[in-house]
Chain A
Amino acid sequence: MSSAAPLSIFLASEQETARFGEWLAARLRPGDTLLLEGQIGAGKTHLARSLIRARLGRMEDVPSPTFTLVQTYDAGDTEIWHADLYRLSHPDEVTELGLEAAFDTAICLIEWPDRLGSLAPPGAMRLQLSQEGEGRRLLVSGGRADLRAAIMQDWPADA
Chain B
Amino acid sequence: MQSLTFLGIESSCDDTAAAVVRHVPGAAAQILASVVDGQVALHAPFGGVVPELAARAHAERLDFCVERALAEAGVSLSDLDGIAVTAGPGLIGGVLSGVMCAKGIAAGTGLPLVGVNHLAGHALTPRLTDGLAFPYLMLLVSGGHCQFLRVAGVEDYTRLGGSIDDAPGEAFDKVAKLLGLPQPGGPAVEAAAKTGDARRFALPRPLLDRPGCDMSFSGLKTAVLRTRDRLAADQGGLHLQDRADICAGFQAAVADVLGEKTRRALDLAPVTGFAVAGGVAANSAIRAVLETVCLAKGVPFLAPPLRLCTDNAAMIAWAGIERFRAGARDGMDLMARPRWPLDTTSPALLGFGKKGAKA
Contacting pair A15 B355 (CB below 8 A): yes
Say if the beta carbon of A22 comes within 8 Å of chain B. yes
Q: Which residues of A contact B359 (CB under 8 A)?
A: 23, 154
Is A3 engaged at the interface, CB distance under 8 Å to the other chain? no
- List B134-186 residues whose CB lies under 8 Å from chain A: 143-145, 162-167, 169-170, 173-174, 177-178
Known contacts A40-B178, A41-B178; decide if A59 and B347 are in contact (CB<8 Å).
Answer: yes
Given known contacts A19-B358, A22-B358, A59-B352, A69 and B165 CB-to-CB distance under 8 angstroms: no
CB-nearest residue of chain B to A92: B52
Residues of A near B229 (CB, < 8 A) are 131
Contact A87 B48 (CB under 8 A): yes
Main secondary structure of the interface of B (DSSP, over half): loop
A54 interface residue per 8 A CB criterion: yes
Contact stretch, chosen from A29-37, A60-68, A102-110: A60-68
Are B144 and A67 within 8 A (Cβ)?
Answer: yes
Min CB distance, B254 to chain A, in Å?
Answer: 15
Q: Name A70-89 residues within 8 Å CB distance of B.
A: 71-72, 86-89
| Cβ of B90 under 8 Å from chain A | yes
* Residues of the B chain whose Cβ atoms lie less than 8 Å from the Cβ of A22: 355-358
Interchain CB contact under 8 A, B174 and A67: no
Residues of chain A with a CB closer than 8 A to B177's CB: 40
The answer on a CB contact under 8 Å between A41 and B50 is no
When A87-B49, A96-B52, A97-B51 are in contact, do A46 and B348 touch as well, CB less than 8 Å? no
- Residues on A facing B (Cβ under 8 Å): 14-15, 18-20, 22-23, 25-26, 40-41, 43, 45-46, 49-50, 53-54, 59-64, 66-69, 71-72, 86-90, 92-93, 96-97, 131, 154
Show 10 A/B contacts (Cβ-Cβ < 8 Å), sorted by A. Answer: A23-B357, A40-B174, A41-B224, A61-B164, A62-B165, A66-B166, A66-B174, A67-B13, A69-B91, A72-B339
